[in-house]
Chain A
Amino acid sequence: MTQLEEIIYKCREENNGAQTALYRLFSSKMYGVCLRYARDSSEAEDILQEGFLRVFTKIRQFEFKGSFEGWMRRIMVNTALEKFRKNDRLYPVEEMSIYEATNWVDETISSITADDLLRIIQELPPRYRMVFNLYAIEGYSHLEIGEMMNISEGTSKSNLSRARIILQKSVAENFGNEKKLVKKVL
């Protein structure tokens, strides 16, 4: 039995020490996930806290099929989605006509740090942020995203497209030198 399995079994018995150990093992990775889905660190902490509560509550449902980290990640994503669904009306959908429908590839873009990109992605309107995270980083299909967010497949595609445009513009404005960018028409 691996150390992780031992911790999981003890967590099933609601052992406080094991829960703390599990938190120490995965909190930094899961906090990284939460930060991508949240608008700021405060909301990310909220998602992380609620997510770990669900992990501890539902850990008996984990049947050691597949990656435990992947299972935890899905819980965090679902928690973020639920929070998004509750607070969706708080945020207006941004008017997209102000953005150009262009796509940029920056040759020097690799020098941008994760923190920079995190700040940029957190500035996205929540729905775009959700769709972009689920599609580009988690790898879900538009059909799956539509079901998860209760939107149509077409809306998911549209939101992704607009998210990309906003992100490109932000990257270009903050880090890009227009002379160094290669413009490509979509």
Chain B
Amino acid sequence: MTTENHPIDQLFKEKLGSLEKNPPAGLMDQISAKVAFRGKIRRMNQVKTAIGIAAAMLLIMMAGWYSMDQTRIAKNQMPLQIPQINTPALAKTNQESLDIKPTVNQIAANQHTIQTTPAKNTSLQSAKPSKSLTVQKNKVVSASVSDGASLLAAQTASKEPSKAAKQEENTVKTKAAEEKTVVKEKSKTESGSNNFQKKNPPLYFADAGVVKQTPSRESGKGNWGITAELSPSVASQSVSGATANTTQQSTVSGGMLASYQVSKRIKVSSGIRFSQMKQDTHTSYTLSQTSGITYLQPVDKAANLAGDVSLYLPAVSSIVYSNGMKTNPTDNFTSDIAQELKYLEVPFQATYKIIDTYLSVGVTGGLSTNFLVGNHAIITQNGINLSNGSTGNVRDILFSSSAGIEVGYGLAKNLIITIEPRIKQYLNSVSSNDQVNYKPTQIGIFTGLTFSFN
């Protein structure tokens, strides 16, 4: 017999195919209430998602901008150093002045030359950067000319014979002593000039490069990096007034973080991380019905987080067990409840490197803000789902602190793999219910890959 002609099929299709029955009154009110509830949750999730995306994009843009800026400086903007006052011409001049046989006039002239040198160095090096390089060069040139002129005057003076000079030639010892003094003074003066240069490092300009010199900085300082990390996590709980048998379940956490190397050993990072909490509870419950919605309530209301599970069901006449037995909604019954809470975490953490080699070891600590993005509960009995719901009185925002030990190994120049055992402590209770003080401690081993933009 063909399907189309089967009498049973035809009978049921004719009678039931266009069946219309009025649903019970009040059902639309329940639907409206649930639509409003879901709309609120959806809008909240949209806002959280938007904030998360915006934060991630901002971090990526900042990292990209900084990376590009560093590249631009390195390639196109060679730092400029003001030429030192000891130009070859001036150095030669000074050398010549030392080679000249000293006379009183020469000594006087050289003293003048030597004494004026640091003064000119000071005036040039401490001068604010001029807008025009020509001006700077002019200053340098004029300085050289003036020093040359003073030296010329000294040399001219030394060549003119005089009685005083003849007397000085006769007193060789005195002259030698004076020459020694002048040399000491010159040495002292040059030393002073060097000290000045050390205290006042050369100025740098962006327009041209006379001397190719980049600012020295500590290794890795100022670098941006981005890290992807993943971890299995287990949790313990801190529950007050618990009588129910609750077991924490392992979860998975992971996310993306941007980091900034503040100094050689200190790194700060932030980003987005997904984390979860899962727990199973075996306890006794009663069902109560209000305005057509069925709520599950634990016998011990102060038990723990499982005490606030709500089931959004229409009015039920009975609960069907796996063996086919039925129970009245007002009767107590024992079942398992699996609860799952999902969070988007925005961490702010710092890492201090204790050992900084290819295999680095550091300590990490930080604070996080956790935004609730998922809330799901399943009531099961003998492994069979009886109904779905959610946990009530759950806070939308939680704060947590974390600490860990980060071990890193450089896979390549810009790529580091890290393993970090980390402990995370929630600072405020997951539940807003005064009777439930639930601040779990989670332990995870985070494995991450960090790429540095340098």
Contact = CB atoms under 8 A, between A and B. Distances in A.
A56 B35 contact: yes
B199 interface: no
B384 A90 contact: yes
Contacts of A31: 20-23
B330 to A, nearest CB: 16
Contact of A132 (B12, B18, B35): B12
Interface residues of B, number: 37
Interface string B1-42: 101001111011101111111111001101110110011000
B170 interface: no
Q: Which of B1, B15, B24, B317 has the most CB of A within 10 A?
A: B15
A36 B19 contact: yes
Given A45-B27, A57-B38, A112-B15, A35 B32 contact: no
B314 interface: yes
A27 B19 CA distance: 11
A114 B20 CA distance: 10
Nearest to B22: A28
Contacts of B149: none
A53 B35 contact: yes
A168 interface: yes
A89 interface: yes
Nearest to A45: B314
Given A42-B316, A137-B13, A49 B34 contact: yes
Contact of A109 (B11, B27, B28, B385): B11
A117 interface: yes
Contacts, number: 116
B320 interface: yes
B7 A105 contact: yes
A23 interface: yes
Interface stretch (A12-20, A60-68, A93-101): A12-20
Contacts of A112: 11, 15
Interface in B21-74: 21-24, 27-28, 30-32, 34-35, 38-39
10 contacts: A23-B31, A24-B28, A27-B22, A32-B20, A42-B314, A53-B34, A112-B11, A121-B16, A137-B9, A137-B17
Interface of B: 1, 3, 6-9, 11-13, 15-24, 27-28, 30-32, 34-35, 38-39, 313-317, 320, 322, 384-385
Given A28-B20, A49-B31, 17 more contacts: A16-B32, A23-B28, A29-B18, A57-B35, A87-B385, A89-B322, A90-B384, A105-B7, A106-B7, A112-B11, A117-B11, A117-B16, A136-B9, A136-B13, A167-B8, A184-B1, A186-B1
Interface of A: 14, 16, 19-20, 23-24, 27-29, 31-33, 35-36, 42, 45-46, 48-49, 52-53, 56-57, 86-87, 89-90, 103-106, 109, 112-114, 117-118, 121, 132, 135-137, 164, 167-168, 171, 184, 186
